[in-house]
DNA sequence: ACGTGTTACTAACACGCGTTAGTATACACC
DNA sequence: GGTGTATACTAACGCGTGTTAGTAACACGT
C-alpha cells in the first residue's frame, strides 16, 4: 500500500499552507480565499485523490460522527431477529441522512450485559441506541445521568430515558376490535411472552381494555402465556382447546407464537377461520405466507429505527425535543385468518 | 457531561508519568515496572473510571480496529434481507473474536455504487466486506490493486479478489439428486434470478450436471427464469403448467420465488407433492412454515459472515491464506414438498 | 502621510495517545 | 574503583487534522 496523501501533500502541490487546504476543502464560511487559490487546492486534492484521515479528524474535532446500535440477544433473540433488517435499514438511512455512521454491536447471551459501555466511555461513538435493554443495568443509569446521548428501543419502566417503541396497547385493541366486529364474543389470548416483559403486559392490557369497552368481563381462563417461540404457542393453544367452553377466536400477541398455535389447531382438525379465528401481532415476513394468511398487527420496524436515530442525533446535537418518549402507531393488516374479506388488492 | 479523565489524570493521581500509565494499562511485555507502581496505576485508573480515547488511539496506532460491511441494496434487496440477520451475526461474532468492531453500511438504490469508497480512502476502517458487489466498479479494482484489504461476499467473475460464497452448483445438484432418487425423470427448473447473476448460472449449471449424470438430456423448455420475487415465480410456474407435457417435479432456485410458484399450483388446483414435487433453495425463515413445508437447500448465512470476516482479518494482519476463494457447502433440508419422509425429529 | 479596514493568506497550537530513546539508580563482577 | 548490566522509570516526538491568532499587502478616506 503506497503512502496515503495528507493535507500537507495537497498544500505542497497547490503551493499554499495546510491551513488553506483545510479551509478550502471544508468550505469554511466567512473566510477570504481567492477563487484561483481555491481552484488550485481543489485540483491538487483531486489529483492526489486526497481523503482526510478520519481518525485525525475525530481526535481534533471531538466528534466521531458515529452512533452505535447495541442489539441485545437475549432469550428473545430469534423473535427480535425478525425486525432486524427493517430496523437496521431505518437506522442507517436516518444516520446517513444526518451524516453519521452506524456501528452494529450485538451483545451475545454469553457476554456481560454492559459490554457495550466501553463504546460510550472510550468515545467510540457520539451516542447509543440500546435495543432490548435490561432494567437492572446500573452502568446505563450512570451514563444517562452524566448526559451521554442515549435512546432505548423498547421501554424501561420507571425511568425517563428517551425511548422509542411501538404502541402495544392500541395495537392489541385494534386486533380485538376487529374480532369483535366480526361477531366474536368469547375471545381468548395467548401472550407473546411471559408478563415479566413489559410489551406482554401492554398487549394484554389492550386486550382487556378492548373487551371492557363493549362490556365483556375479563376471564383469566382464556389467557395463556407464550414464550416467543412456536412451541410455546402450540402448548398454549392446546390448553385453550382443552377448555370446556372454547373461545371462538384467539388473539395471539406474536406471529411466531401464532405459527405454533396454528399447528395445534391443524393437529386437532380445526379449520381457521371457520372453526376458530386467529389474529396475530408483529407482521413478521412469514405471516403473509402462512395457510391461512395471518391477519395481524403490523410493527413499523423501519420507522422504529429511523425515529430512534433521529431522536438520538437531535440529543447529540443539543436539539432535544421536549418529548423524548416516542410511541409509533401500528397498523392492522387484514388477511385470511379472521374470516374478514381483505380490501381489494391488498396482500 | 463532566470532563473525561485522560491518561494524564491517571498519571498524576498515581504519581507516575503518562508513559508508565500507557505501559501498564496496555500490558506491554518485556518492560520493567515494579509491582507496587503497577498496582498504583491500575488503582488510579479504576478510581477515575478511565477508558482510553478511541480516536487518539486510532490516530497514533494507525489501526481503526474496525471493519465495514458494505451491503448493496439492489433489485435483489428483499431477497438479500433474508440472510442479513444470520450473516451479520456471523460477521460480528468473528469480528469481536478478533478484536474488531463492525460498521454497517448499506448502499441504497439511489446512491452511487461506490459510495463506500470513502470508508477505505478516509481510513474509517482497516478493511471492507462487500456484499453484492458490482463488477463494473473501477474504484473496487483500484483499491484492490493498491493492497487495501477487501473480501467479497458473492463472486465477481474475472477477478481474483478474495471472496466468500456458497457452493451454488453442488447445492443445486443435491436438490436434483434428491428428486431423481424419488423417481422423478421429467424435472423442470425456475431460476432464482435472470442469468446475468452468476449465482443463477451456477444453480442452473448444477441442475444441468445432475441430470447429465444420469443421462437425462437438458431440455430448455423446462427452464424458466425467476426474478427474486414471488410474482416472478407464479408466472414462471404458469408457463411450466402450460406445457403439453408437464414436469412431475420442479427445482426452484430461490424459496421466495418458490412461494409464488406454490401459489400458482394452488390456483391450478394441483397438490404438492402429490401432483408435483417442489424443491427450493436458500432455506429462508419462511420455508419451514409453508404448506407444504418446503424441502430446500440451506444456505449457511452465519458461516458466510464468519468466514468473510475471518478471511478479511487475516488479510489485514498480513496472514493471508494461500487460497482466498472460499466456497461453503450447503445442506439439503428435507421437509414435505418433495414427498420424501423427513428424518425423525427434524423440522 | 497616516490611520482604518479588508483581503488573502500562514504559523503554531491542541486533540490524547503509543512509543522510542534516554536517564538515573542499584547491583554484580574482576 | 571502574565497567557492565539489569531495573525502573521519564521526556519528548509524532500521528493528521481543525482552528485560533496573527501577519503582510493593499485600498480608501481624510
pLDDT mean over A206-223: 97
The verdict on a CB contact (< 8 Å) between A122 and B53 is yes
For residue B19, say whether its CB is under 7 Å from any atom of strand D.
yes
- Same domain, yes or no, for A285 and A198? yes
Contacts of A318 in chain B (CB under 8 A): none
Quick check: A16 and A42 in contact, CB under 8 A?
no
DSSP β-ladder status, B127-131 and B150-153: parallel
Interval A88-127: pLDDT, tens: 999 999 999 999 999 999 999 999 988 999 999 999 999 9
**Which pLDDT score, from 0 to 100, does residue A344 have?**
47
CA distance linking residue B321 with residue B311, whole number of Å: 8
Q: Sort A173 into a burial class: Cβ within 10 Å, 0-12 / 13-18 / 19+.
A: buried
Interval B21-49: pLDDT, tens: 999 999 998 888 999 999 999 999 999 99
Whether A4 has its CB under 8 Å from any CB of chain B: the answer is: yes
- Using a pLDDT cut of 70, give the percent of chain A over it: 97
Q: Where are the alpha helices (DSSP H) in chain A?
A: 7-14, 18-25, 35-48, 54-61, 77-81, 84-97, 117-121, 138-145, 168-181, 198-213, 230-241, 255-267, 301-316
CA distance A345 to chain B (A): 14
Does residue B276 come out as left (phi exceeding 0), alpha (psi in the -120 to 50 range) or beta? beta
Point out the residue among A4, A104, A122 whose CB comes nearest to the CB of B51: A122
pLDDT mean over B301-327: 97
CA distance linking residue A7 with residue A25, whole number of Å: 10
Interval A55-74: pLDDT, tens: 999 999 999 999 999 999 98
Query: Does a structural domain hold residue A1?
Result: no
Note down the domain range covering B112: 66-165+301-327
- Backbone phi, then psi, for B256, in 5-degree steps? -60, -40
Which nucleotide comes closest to A50 if you measure CA to C1'?
A: D16
Paired strand residues for A152: A130, A163
In eight-state DSSP terms, residue B100 is -
Read off the CATH number of the domain in which A128 is found: 3.40.50.2300
Interval A230-260: pLDDT, tens: 999 999 999 999 999 999 999 999 999 999 9
Place of cell 394468511: A293
CA distance B220 to chain A (A): 30
- Same domain, yes or no, for B184 and B217? yes
- Same domain, yes or no, for A272 and A241? yes
Interval B34-90: pLDDT, tens: 999 999 999 999 999 999 999 999 999 999 999 999 999 989 999 999 999 999 999
Is pLDDT at A345 greater than 50 in this prediction?
no
SS3 letters for A163-206?
A: EEEECHHHHHHHHHHHHHHCCCCCEEEECCCCCCCHHHHHHHHH
Contacts of B87 in chain A (CB under 8 A): none
How many Cβ atoms sit within 10 Å of the Cβ of residue B11? Answer: 19
Quick check: A159 and A193 in contact, CB under 8 A?
no
Average per-residue pLDDT in chain B? 94
Contacts of B54 in chain A (CB under 8 A): 64, 122-124
pLDDT mean over B148-158: 92
B60 CA to D14 C1', in Å? Answer: 8
Contacts of B147 in chain A (CB under 8 A): 1
Q: Which residue is nearest to nucleotide D10 (CA to C1')?
A: B17
Query: Does a structural domain hold residue A289?
Result: yes
- Same domain, yes or no, for B175 and B294? yes
Query: Does a structural domain hold residue B108?
Result: yes
Is pLDDT at B149 greater than 90 in this prediction?
yes
pLDDT mean over A276-302: 97
For residue B23, say whether its CB is under 7 Å from any atom of strand C.
yes
- Same domain, yes or no, for A283 and A305? no
Interval B251-287: pLDDT, tens: 999 999 999 999 999 999 999 999 999 999 999 999 9
The verdict on a CB contact (< 8 Å) between A53 and B59 is yes
- Same domain, yes or no, for B269 and B308? no
**DSSP H or E stretch at residue A249:** strand A249-252
Read off the CATH number of the domain in which B12 is found: 1.10.260.40
- Same domain, yes or no, for A243 and A208? yes
**Which pLDDT score, from 0 to 100, does residue B114 have?**
85
**DSSP H or E stretch at residue A150:** strand A150-153
Query: Does a structural domain hold residue A312?
Result: yes
- Same domain, yes or no, for B45 and B11? yes
Query: Does a structural domain hold residue A310?
Result: yes
C-alpha cell at B312: 478479511
Query: Does a structural domain hold residue A264?
Result: yes
How many Cβ atoms sit within 10 Å of the Cβ of residue B200? Answer: 20
C-alpha cell at B137: 466498479
Is pLDDT at B134 greater than 90 in this prediction?
no
A22 CA to C4 C1', in Å? Answer: 30
Cβ neighbours of residue B210 closer than 8 Å, sequence gap 6 or more: B172, B173, B176, B177, B180
For residue A20, say whether its CB is under 7 Å from any atom of strand C.
yes
Res. B342 pLDDT band, cuts 50 70 90? low
| Number of domains within chain B | 3
Res. A333 pLDDT band, cuts 50 70 90? very high
Which nucleotide comes closest to A30 if you measure CA to C1'?
A: C7
The verdict on a CB contact (< 8 Å) between B81 and A81 is no
DSSP β-ladder status, B331-333 and B296-298: antiparallel
DSSP string, A283-323: --TTGGGSSSPPBEEEP-HHHHHHHHHHHHHHHHTT---S-
Taking the stretch 48-67 of protein chain A, residues with Cβ within 7 Å of any atom in nucleic acid chain D are 50, 52-53, 56-57, 59-61
Quick check: B291 and A292 in contact, CB under 8 A?
no
Query: Does a structural domain hold residue A37?
Result: yes
Place of cell 395445534: A264
CA distance linking residue B151 with residue B161, whole number of Å: 7
- Same domain, yes or no, for B173 and B286? yes
Q: Sort A171 into a burial class: Cβ within 10 Å, 0-12 / 13-18 / 19+.
A: buried
CA distance linking residue B250 with residue A15, whole number of Å: 69
The verdict on a CB contact (< 8 Å) between B146 and A2 is yes
- Same domain, yes or no, for A316 and A295? no
Cβ neighbours of residue A41 closer than 8 Å, sequence gap 6 or more: A10, A14, A16, A20, A21, A24, A25
Query: Does a structural domain hold residue A97?
Result: yes
- Same domain, yes or no, for A284 and A310? no
Whether A291 has its CB under 8 Å from any CB of chain B: the answer is: yes
Is pLDDT at B344 greater than 70 in this prediction?
no
CA distance linking residue B107 with residue B116, whole number of Å: 8
Is pLDDT at A342 greater than 50 in this prediction?
yes
Report angle CA B207, B298, A286 to the nearest 5 degrees.
115
pLDDT mean over B197-211: 97
Q: Which residue is nearest to nucleotide C19 (CA to C1')?
A: B19
Res. B346 pLDDT band, cuts 50 70 90? very low
- Same domain, yes or no, for B148 and B176? no
Is pLDDT at A346 greater than 60 in this prediction?
no
Quick check: A207 and A184 in contact, CB under 8 A?
no
96-115 of B, contacting A, C-beta below 8 A: 101-106, 108
The verdict on a CB contact (< 8 Å) between B123 and A4 is yes
CA distance linking residue A279 with residue A336, whole number of Å: 9
Q: What is the dihedral of CA A137, A154, A210, A192, to 10 degrees?
A: -80
Whether A317 has its CB under 8 Å from any CB of chain B: the answer is: no
C-alpha cell at A283: 407482521
- Backbone phi, then psi, for A260, in 5-degree steps? -70, -35
CA distance linking residue B81 with residue B78, whole number of Å: 5
Mutate to test the interface with B, among A85, A111, A114, A120 (most CBs of B within 10 A): A85
Quick check: A194 and A334 in contact, CB under 8 A?
no
Quick check: B165 and B154 in contact, CB under 8 A?
yes
Cβ neighbours of residue A270 closer than 8 Å, sequence gap 6 or more: A241, A276
Res. B113 pLDDT band, cuts 50 70 90? confident
Average per-residue pLDDT in chain A? 94
Does residue B277 come out as left (phi exceeding 0), alpha (psi in the -120 to 50 range) or beta? beta
- Hey, is A66 helix, strand or coil? strand
The verdict on a CB contact (< 8 Å) between B103 and A108 is no
- For chain B, strand residue ranges (E) read 66-72, 101-107, 127-131, 150-153, 163-166, 187-191, 223-225, 249-252, 277-279, 296-298, 325-328, 331-333
Amino acid at each position: 500500500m503506497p503512502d496515503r496523501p495528507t493535507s500537507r501533500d495537497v498544500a505542497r502541490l497547490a503551493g499554499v499552507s495546510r491551513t488553506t487546504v483545510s479551509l478550502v476543502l471544508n468550505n469554511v464560511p466567512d473566510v477570504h480565499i481567492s477563487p484561483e487559490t481555491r481552484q488550485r487546492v481543489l485540483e491538487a486534492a483531486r489529483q492526489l485523490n486526497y481523503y482526510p484521515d478520519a481518525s485525525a479528524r475525530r481526535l481534533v474535532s471531538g466528534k466521531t460522527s458515529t452512533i452505535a446500535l447495541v442489539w441485545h440477544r437475549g432469550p428473545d433473540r430469534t423473535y427480535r431477529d425478525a425486525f432486524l433488517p427493517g430496523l437496521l435499514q431505518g437506522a442507517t438511512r436516518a444516520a446517513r441522512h444526518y451524516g453519521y455512521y452506524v456501528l452494529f454491536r450485538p451483545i451475545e447471551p454469553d457476554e456481560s450485559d454492559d459490554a457495550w459501555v466501553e463504546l460510550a466511555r472510550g468515545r467510540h461513538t457520539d451516542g447509543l441506541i440500546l435495543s432490548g435493554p435490561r432494567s437492572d443495568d446500573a452502568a446505563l443509569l450512570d451514563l444517562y445521568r452524566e448526559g451521554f446521548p442515549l435512546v432505548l428501543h423498547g421501554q424501561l419502566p420507571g425511568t425517563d430515558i428517551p425511548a422509542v417503541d411501538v404502541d402495544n396497547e392500541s395495537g392489541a385493541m385494534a386486533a380485538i376490535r376487529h374480532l369483535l366486529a366480526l361477531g366474536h364474543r368469547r375471545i381468548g389470548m395467548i401472550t407473546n411472552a411471559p408478563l415479566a416483559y413489559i410489551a406482554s403486559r401492554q398487549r394484554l392490557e389492550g386486550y382487556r381494555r378492548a373487551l371492557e369497552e363493549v362490556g365483556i368481563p375479563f376471564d383469566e381462563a382464556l389467557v395463556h402465556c407464550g414464550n416467543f417461540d412456536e412451541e410455546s404457542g402450540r402448548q398454549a393453544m392446546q390448553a385453550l382447546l382443552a377448555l370446556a367452553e372454547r373461545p371462538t377466536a384467539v388473539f395471539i400477541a406474536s406471529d411466531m407464537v401464532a405459527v405454533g398455535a396454528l399447528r395445534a389447531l391443524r393437529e386437532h382438525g380445526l379449520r381457521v377461520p371457520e372453526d376458530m379465528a386467529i389474529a396475530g401481532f408483529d407482521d413478521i415476513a412469514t405471516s403473509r405466507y402462512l395457510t391461512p394468511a395471518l391477519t395481524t398487527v403490523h410493527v413499523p420496524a423501519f420507522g422504529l429505527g429511523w425515529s430512534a436515530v433521529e431522536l438520538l442525533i437531535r440529543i447529540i446535537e443539543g436539539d432535544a425535543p421536549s418529548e423524548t418518549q416516542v410511541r409509533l402507531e401500528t397498523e392492522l393488516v387484514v388477511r385470511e385468518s379472521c374470516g374478514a374479506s381483505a380490501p381489494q388488492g391488498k396482500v
